Amino acid sequence: MSGQINALTWALWFASVVVVPLTSRNPLYLALLLLVVLVVFFSLPKRAGRSSAWRLFAYVGSGVALLSIGFNVLTVHVGDRVFARLPDQLPIIGGPLTVNALLYGVISALAISTVLFAAATFNSAVRHADLVRILPGSLSRFGVAAGIALLYVPQTISAARDIYDAQRSRGHQFRGIRDARAFVVPLLSTGLERALLLSEALETRGFGASATVVQSRPYARLLTAGSAATLILAFVAIGTGAYPLGMAALAGTGMLALYGSPSNSRRTRYRQTEWSVASLTVAIGAGISTVVLLFGRAFVDLHFGYDTFPRIEHPQFSPLAGVSILLLILPATVKQT
């Protein structure tokens, strides 16, 4: 299977990946998902700059996530398996240290690392211009702002690397805090300069201009009324405990509101989104995975609920959920052209 995976498919894949870390603390699912995401991440073709910057971001973020283990152990003193005890006189950290808290910290770190590597994969694989392009017209400004915000991290890392290399080539040695001034000051000035250039470029292209043509959509009022009705339905469903129906109604509300809102900018597209076999396969896999992981629990027990408190118990594993997570490895099997 070869071809190019389009931005919409990557967005669907990313949304499907984050379902498990956001809704479950089952360590088996999280570990399997992290493996899947890592395989997809390392299968991407290396592009100079952008990919390596996001890789660094994921590594640093995962390192920070590991701190949550120690934080959890020191601040949560609940559980049935005590392995050490700090004096009770110590504020916050005083008390029994439990394996339960340690395990919960590990699970949280797994979830955070999974989301970070998924974000790094998504941002390495997709051009942000493509992302803005697939957004509806009413969200185009939001898309531009979000794209700029997302680009901040890799651009800053790239600039930091350039400054570091330039200073080293001039013979500067970074030995301590005092030497950091030669690194931090150019980094700040570069960031400010880039922000000014960006704002001028946006102004030149008319970003934020008020004199735009508002395109009215057919059945706009009907769509808006439908959106309000599904929102009420969502509140009622969630309030009565019908979570799957409530979530589906919320998603419907968003879709109707999106297409019912007027587009405030006229956009032209020179190239339509291509749906190659690879894109279709990955999108179908991600779609099935999302549906099963989000709504499957209404019909079968997917064992998403897991807690290490007050006792550590064996986590359960549902084959259906496992196969759904495995479907997310499909991008790695595509030979991207």
Contact present, 170 and 306 (Cβ < 8 Å): no
d(CA 103, CA 314) in angstroms, rounded, equals: 12
Closest separation in Å from C-beta 56 to other proteins? 19
Strands 82-86 and 2-3: unpaired
Closest approach of Cβ 321 to other proteins, in Å? 10
Residue nearer to other proteins on the CB measure, 154 or 315: 315
Smaller CB separation from other proteins, 43 or 190: 43
Length of the chain: 337
Query: With respect to other proteins, which residue has the nearer C-beta, 243 or 259?
Result: 243
Interface with other proteins by CB under 8 A: which residues? Answer: 28, 31-32, 35-36, 38-39, 42-43, 45, 78-80, 88, 239-241, 243, 297, 303-307, 309-311, 313-319, 322-323, 325-326, 329, 332-333, 335
The set of residues, in sequence order, having a beta carbon less than 8 Å from that of 318 and lying 6+ positions away, is 300, 301, 302, 303
- 134 with 273: CB under 8 angstroms? yes
CB of 48 to other proteins, least distance (A): 13
Rounded CA separation 57/35 (Å): 18
Closest to other proteins by CB, 289 vs 318, is 318
What are residue 3's DSSP bridge partners?
Answer: 336
Judged by beta carbon, residue 80 or residue 203, the one nearer other proteins is 80
- Secondary structure E strands in the chain: 2-3, 82-86, 95-98, 335-336
Q: Least Å distance between CB 44 and other proteins?
A: 9
Query: How near is the Cβ of 17 to other proteins at its closest, in Å?
Result: 14
- Determine the Cα–Cα distance for residues 19 and 86; give it in Å rounded to an integer: 37
